[in-house]
Homo-oligomer: A and B are copies of this chain.
Amino acid sequence: MKPGNIPVPAVRRLSLYLRQLDNLWRDDQRTISSRQLGDALKLTDAQVRKDLAYFGQFGQPGIGYNVEELIARIRGILGTDRMWNVLLVGAGHLGMALSAHRGFARKGFRVVAVFDDDKAKIGKRVPSLEGVTIQPVEEIARAVREKDIRLAIIAVPGEAAQGVTDRLLAAGVRGLLNFAPVSLDVDTAVAVSSVDLAVQLEQLSFQVGAAASLEDVKK
C-alpha cells in the first residue's frame, strides 16, 4: 500500500505504536501481541491489527509481532529510518529549548541550522548544538540548499510567522512544525503541523470547566 493511502488517524497511531515499541525494546521485550500493544494506548487489539495490516501481514498467530521488525517497518513507513536535517527559525526561549530537545535526535531529526532576525542574536553559538551559530533569516535559502533540508520548525512571534513561512517555502522546505499562534497560509502540497501552546491549555480549561458544570448538574 502506498503511504499516501493510509488514513491520517492511522498514521498518528503508528507514531504512538512506535513510541511504545521503542520503550519495550529498551526494556528487553522482543515480541508483543496486538492486545498488549493496544492496552497501553487504550485501543482494541482489532484496531491495532487493522492499522498494522496497512503494510502487510507479518504478525505470527499465538506469538505476536517481533518488536524489532515492527519498529523497522513503522520507521520505514514514517520515513524516520534515515536522518532528517531540520532548521529552526526563532532563537527565543522556546526555540532554544527546542534546539536542545533530545527527543528529536532519538527519532532521527537533527537541527542543523538556526535563524533569527534579531541582530543582537546573530553570530551567537547555540549552546546545545555543536558548531551551530544563529544566522540571519536571509541565509535560509542557502542553508536549505547546502544541507538538503525539507523540514523546519517555526518558533517566532505570530506577526512574523507568515513572512518566515513564505521564505521557507520559497527555499524548498516542504514540512513545517509551527509554534506561532497563527494559522499559516500555505499551498496544499505543504505539510503543516501546528502546536499552539496556549490553545492546548485553553482546550483543557474547557474540559475541566465542562466536567465541573456536569458535576453541578448531577448534584
Hey, which bits of chain A sit against chain B, CB under 8 A?
A: 2-4, 11-12, 14-16, 18-20, 23, 40-42, 77-80, 84, 86, 93-94, 96-98, 100-101, 103-104, 106-109, 128, 150-151, 153, 158, 174-177, 181-183, 189, 191, 193, 195-214, 217
Contacts and interface: CB of A to CB of B under 8 A. Distances in A.
B97 A202 contact: no
Given A40-B183, A103-B181, A200-B177, A210 B4 contact: yes
A129 B106 CA distance: 31
Count of identical protomers in the assembly: 2
Q: Is the interface of A mostly helix, strand, loop or mixed?
A: helix
Nearest to A151: B204
State the 6 A-B residue pairs at the shortest beta-carbon distance, nearest first. Answer: A79-B209, A97-B97, A191-B207, A175-B204, A3-B210, A103-B198
